[in-house]
A and B are shown apart, each in its own frame.
Chain A
Amino acid sequence: MAALLPARRARGPIEDGPVTRAAFILIAVGFIVLFLLLPLITVFAQALSQGVNAALAAFDDPDARSAIRLTFLVAAIAVPLNVVFGVAAAWAVAKFDFPGKSMLVTLIDLPFSVSPVIAGLVYVLIFGLQGWLGPLLRDYNIKIIFALPGLVLATIFVTFPFVARELIPLMTDQGRDEEEAAVSLGASGWSTFRRVTLPNIKWGLLYGVLLCNARAMGEFGAVSVVSGHIRGLTNTMPLHVEVLYNDYQYVGAFAIASLLALLALVTLVVKSFLEWRYADEIAAVHRH
């Protein structure tokens, strides 16, 4: 977007005066520094408030290590599943016409307007001890709530639309001519997808995966409901941060939080890079 600006520079009569410009820039910068940048700086400042070693010590704790492992494990299951879904949904929506298509697209976006706590709650209502399937699961000794499957389900729910909503507009724009050409020349469906579609959508897909993964690793509300907060067992990184913080172990809490904040910063840098370098190949206009 920024690259477009020089050509669009306002001229004469509609140019804001220097005072207005300075005031608006000051307000915008001030607001962002105060509301967004300062909290970020606080995370690192608090983590390092008693030196680097104190911060690093937080990562020696076995509970912290298990939380980090669990976070990566949950994301490693949830993200690929949502990628498969996103590609399938985008393939169906973008390459074919069928009744109820716009309804389907609306429903795919639905999880974004549901509170994370409700996202966790719905699975408790089904799989919890007093849920629909609760007694059945107990008889067969299957644990979903307060265990890994619950964490994965809740994470899938909150990250559900990320890949699909990136790929659907992108693949709709690209149409189906190239794939039809490949198929009519005798390529199989799978090799058409792999050799024609995938190269066209790879940056958009990566963009969707990036956002999906950031949310999956950082999710708090939804996993908090289904986790049961069993230390060393069902606490993900964000939940471990909460436990430490509520235990008044501020340095430890902010040290783990710093790792999550670093992850967020890396995500932002890669995201900005993708938006800048591959602007035409991602549906960034629809981003959220």
Chain B
Amino acid sequence: MSATAALAPAGRWRSRSALPGFGLSLGFTIFYLSAIVLVPLAALAIRPWTLGWSGFVAEVTAPRVLAALKLSFGGAAIAATINTVFGLIVAWVLVRYRFPGKRLLDALVDLPFALPTAVAGIALSTLYAPTGWLGAPLAHLGLKVAYTPLGVIVALTFIGLPFVVRTLQPVLADMGTDAEEAAATLGASRLQTFRRVVLPALAPALTTGAALSFARAVGEYGSVIFIAGNLPMVSEIAPLLIVIKLEEFDYAGAASIGLVMLGISFLMLLALNLLQTWTRR
């Protein structure tokens, strides 16, 4: 049969599938993946070493770089924490309750996925500026948000919320209420049931959602740079520092910061995975 003949070149990698196109589809997939993602990322991994080890270390431990990394990772951690708390409440409300406008609320959760980050950036900046709708009343309370690290956290919270909600929603819906009913029948209070039954069952999804929201926030650029004010050492995020280095044609410096960002993110995700397999055991 012609279909079998077409499969022949795939040799021992061929599956028992009688379908054609294995070599072509996998070949194109690997080529495209390599050309677009893997080779360019390899360039990022190699470039910093043109500085030598000591040059690389000096580059990424410069006070301005350290401050930027601290803000990006610290801000992302705070935003992910805020999103985990409020994301849980939003997901809970969307799955468990019925109320008018729920569909609209559900659709709105995806807004940060759909709204271009630059649009979110200028909107947040205007909203929280000292003359803005939210900035003015907050300024009355003595709270300055725009052009401070607080503004960075607001922007990172904005973009991270859907990750937590969308990770929790299916898990919460699938979980059902049997275990909770059992706990309640055995005399547990609602709070006890939540703390001892619901929360442990949701823990993996909560961690995943928080990690996704964190990972997105660490690298976020567009929604942050307008509201941040970008003061070196104070409200300058790491991705912006990469852009600044590139504008000065300091490729190796830019690549060094990029590599450290990717490295830390990778290690954190790895630690999280290990933690999850460890707790599941």
Contact = CB atoms under 8 A, between A and B. Distances in A.
A14 B251 contact: no
A211 B170 CA distance: 20
B118 A241 contact: yes
A140 interface: no
B271 interface: no
Interface string B143-162: 00000000000100110010
B207 interface: no
B26 A287 contact: no
B161 to A, nearest CB: 7
B56 interface: no
A200 interface: no
Interface in B18-53: 18-22, 24-26, 28-30, 32-33, 36-41, 43-44, 47
Interface in B103-121: 103, 105-121
A69 interface: no
A21 B121 CA distance: 33
Contact of A1 (B43, B44, B170): B170
Contacts of A268: 107, 110-111, 114
Query: Interface residues of A toward B: which range?
Result: 35 or more
Interface residues of B, number: 108
Contact of A92 (B22, B107, B112, B215): B22
A122 B3 contact: no
A92 B25 contact: yes
Contact of B26 (A96, A237, A253, A267): A96
Contacts of A239: 118
B278 interface: no
A2 interface: yes
Contact of A36 (B47, B93, B158, B249): B158
Contact of B114 (A8, A183, A214): A214
A43 B124 CA distance: 9
20 contacts: A2-B106, A24-B89, A25-B93, A35-B161, A43-B119, A43-B122, A89-B33, A96-B14, A98-B13, A98-B26, A121-B242, A126-B40, A128-B251, A157-B37, A176-B17, A180-B19, A183-B20, A189-B20, A264-B119, A268-B110
Interface of A: 1-2, 4-6, 8-11, 13-14, 16-17, 20-21, 24-25, 27-29, 31-32, 34-40, 42-43, 46, 84-85, 88-89, 91-93, 95-99, 104, 107-108, 110-111, 113-118, 121-126, 128-132, 153, 156-157, 160, 176, 179-180, 183-184, 188-189, 192-193, 211, 214, 217-221, 224-225, 237-239, 241-242, 245, 250, 253-254, 257, 260-261, 264-265, 267-269, 271-272, 285, 287-288
Interface of B: 2-3, 6, 13-22, 24-26, 28-30, 32-33, 36-41, 43-44, 47, 86, 89-90, 92-99, 101-103, 105-124, 126-127, 132-134, 154, 157-158, 161, 163, 166, 169-170, 173, 176-177, 180-181, 184-185, 190, 193, 212, 215, 218-222, 226, 239-240, 242-243, 246, 249, 251, 254-255, 258, 261-262, 265, 269
Given A36-B161, A131-B43, 10 more contacts: A27-B89, A32-B108, A104-B29, A123-B40, A128-B251, A218-B116, A221-B219, A257-B123, A261-B116, A288-B166
